[in-house]
Amino acid sequence: MSEMPKHRSKIEIMYTILKVLRESETEVKKTHLMYLVGLNYDVFSKYISRIEKLGLVRVNKEGYSLTDSGKRELEMIENYLTIERKLKG
């Protein structure tokens, strides 16, 4: 996996979490997800809690997975980030 940028915006962090879950074929354990998105425990816990409250992910004993709402939100974030890159470009 490529090295994560040191400073990511809130939207980029949410995007990374949702993207990792979309690409996973099964539920992802909390510690493994935290490692994959490159966040420390405190920061990760804050974001995953917010994302879960928004109904974008679900958690069960197997781990985290993306909801249908999460998939739609991820698509919107991807569109936003594409436009943002074009404007900076």
Maximum pairwise Cα distance, the chain: 43
Domain ranges of the chain: 10-88
pLDDT score of 75 more than 70: yes
CA distances from 21 to 57, 60, 83, 84 (A): 9, 14, 23, 23
At a CB cut-off of 8 Å and minimum separation 6, what does 63 contact? 26, 27, 28, 29, 30, 32, 33
pLDDT score of 89 more than 90: no
pLDDT score of 58 more than 70: yes
The chain-wide mean pLDDT, for the chain, equals: 93
Domain 10-88: assigned CATH number: 1.10.10.10
Could you tell me the pTM of the whole model?
A: 0.88
Segment 1-33, tens digit of pLDDT: 455 556 889 999 999 999 999 999 899 999 999
